[in-house]
Amino acid sequence: MEKEISQAVIRRIPRYYRYLGELIDDGVERISSNELSARMRVTASQIRQDLNNFGGFGQQGYGYNVKYLYDEIGNILGINQQHNIIVIGAGNLGQALANYVKFEKRGFVIIGLFDVNPALNGISVRGIKVRMMNELEAFVKKERVDIAALTMPKEKADETANMLVSLGINAIWNFAHLDLELPEHVVVENVHLSDSLMQLSYNIAKQRKRKE
Amino acid sequence: MEKEISQAVIRRIPRYYRYLGELIDDGVERISSNELSARMRVTASQIRQDLNNFGGFGQQGYGYNVKYLYDEIGNILGINQQHNIIVIGAGNLGQALANYVKFEKRGFVIIGLFDVNPALNGISVRGIKVRMMNELEAFVKKERVDIAALTMPKEKADETANMLVSLGINAIWNFAHLDLELPEHVVVENVHLSDSLMQLSYNIAKQRKRKE
């Protein structure tokens, strides 16, 4: 039986993946937890502990095989398979997501953009056509959609998310500034930019006090 | 002496602020930790514990005064004062940030957009002019800049961040997909969208396994 891994660990794992990808680009084939620790600025014991959650991968006195670890973490993160994404809200943020070529390299492929604004109807972003919301249902029934990104105003976000779930989409990448109320089986990942700004301002205030 | 508050608590605090703001909009004047708990879907004891970090605010048998708590949390978060922001990178993401009117309501005011692309020179986003990077130094010397948002490609992000710090900017809101190497006094808040997507895909894979 697999043990439950905490979301705190899961939050750190993509960072390992990013660093290992850079090591591969640099031609590094193996690395000790101490070297990885210096590079990532986390303790070596933290690294060993995190990776032990997934069965270790390390070999005493040898270190980690970078490519193997990279691939294994990729498997764990589920990015060994393609994820099709639709973006609901084709404003600046939706278009920004559609323009991120890097997502595609990781298997996250944006296959559709949707909006209610007729001015956007039919325009293309990096070859991805913007469709109107009334075309959504037919689209989802035809294409496999794994993730819906919500980059729309918060007022209609909850309703839209529930509609998407009723169409069989079980994962929401939510940029709307509210907590969605969805059935328990739905996986939600929030990007709350205002919350992030407030965290920043808290840390600015703290830093100022420290200086005084 | 103030005690150190963990970043985990700080990550939860903006959410309280958001919910209290909604309560004010709904005309609610006071609320018990149990009611707030039901609304926010965290335990009442978690709420009491979190708010005790900042001195409590609650009164036995009375609950929380919503407006007072809202204002106090605002003070704690440092959003009782204006923060001026410049955005480095006026592509889709930079323009999306400039278009978020809500940030301004919280005192986060975007006062400048910068880019290297001459095609963007002089265009305006919600009245904010896009300037070229060679105008940055003069701008920062003339205006008070509290936060620089980096919405530029990662290749030049580290260099640019260090240049901004040398101009006296001590807070970076980093959207570039790397960990910046900056002096310790600099406050950094990262928004790593790829990491967030990978976390989502991990949870999708976990959910699929659960169903099998």
> What are the pLDDT digits (tens) for A161-179?
999 999 999 999 999 989 9
Portion of chain A with pLDDT greater than 70, in percent: 95
Q: How far from B119 is each of B90, B122, B130, B131, B160, CA to CA, in Å? A: 11, 9, 10, 11, 20
Mean pLDDT of A70-82: 89
Residues of A in contact with B99 (CB under 8 A): 91-92
The whole-number pLDDT of residue B48 equals 85
Q: Is B13 on the interface with A (CB under 8 A)?
A: yes
Contact status of A158 with chain B (Cβ, < 8 Å): no
**Residue B107 and residue A201: Cα distance in Å, rounded?**
10
Q: Kindly give, in sequence order, each residue whose CB lies less than 8 Å from that of residue A153, ignoring residues fewer than 6 positions away.
A: A89, A176
At residue A209, the pLDDT reads 83
Query: Which pLDDT value is given to residue A114?
Result: 98
Q: Interior CA angle at B86 toward B83 and B89, to 5°?
A: 150
pTM (predicted TM-score): 0.90
| Chain B contact set for A185 (CB, 8 A) | 207, 211
What confidence tens digit (pLDDT) does each residue in A42-63 have?
A: 898 888 888 888 766 666 667 8
ipTM: 0.89
Alpha-carbon distance B100 to A192, whole Å?
A: 12
Lowest mean pLDDT among A156-165, B22-31, B60-69, B194-203: B60-69
How much is the pLDDT for B57? 66
B99 contacts A91? CB cut-off 8 A:
yes
Tell whether A189 is within 8 A of chain B (Cβ). yes
Question: What mean pLDDT, rounded, does chain A reach?
Answer: 90
CB contacts, 8 Å: A91 with chain B? 96, 99
Higher pLDDT, B7 or A16: A16
On whether the CB atoms of residues B90 and B115 are closer than 8 A, the answer is yes
Instruction: Read off the pLDDT band of A144 (50, 70, 90).
Output: very high
In terms of DSSP bridges, do strands A147-150 and A128-132 run parallel, antiparallel, or are they unpaired? unpaired
Whole-number mean pLDDT of chain B?
90
- Tens of pLDDT, residues B93-137: 999 999 987 888 889 999 999 999 999 998 999 999 999 999 999
- Whether residue A12 lies within 8 A of chain B, CB to CB, comes out as no
Burial state string for A19-31 with b = 16 or more CB within 10 A and e = fewer than 16: bbbebeeeeeeeb
Chain A CA closest to residue B8: A8
Query: A204, B78: Cβ pair inside 8 Å?
Result: yes
Cβ contact, residue pair B10, A199, below 8 Å: yes
Domains annotated for chain A, with CATH where assigned, are: 7-76 (1.10.10.10), 83-195 (3.40.50.720)
State whether residue A147 sits within 8 Å of chain B by CB: yes
pLDDT at position A160 is 97
pLDDT value at residue B157: 96
- The tokens describing A58, both together, are 């390390």
Q: What is the mean pLDDT of residues A6-30?
A: 89
B160-180: pLDDT as tens digits: 999 999 999 999 999 998 999
Largest Cα–Cα distance of chain A, in whole Å? 62
Of all residues in chain A, the one with the smallest CA distance to B41 is A179
Given a cut of 50, whether residue B1 has pLDDT beyond it is no
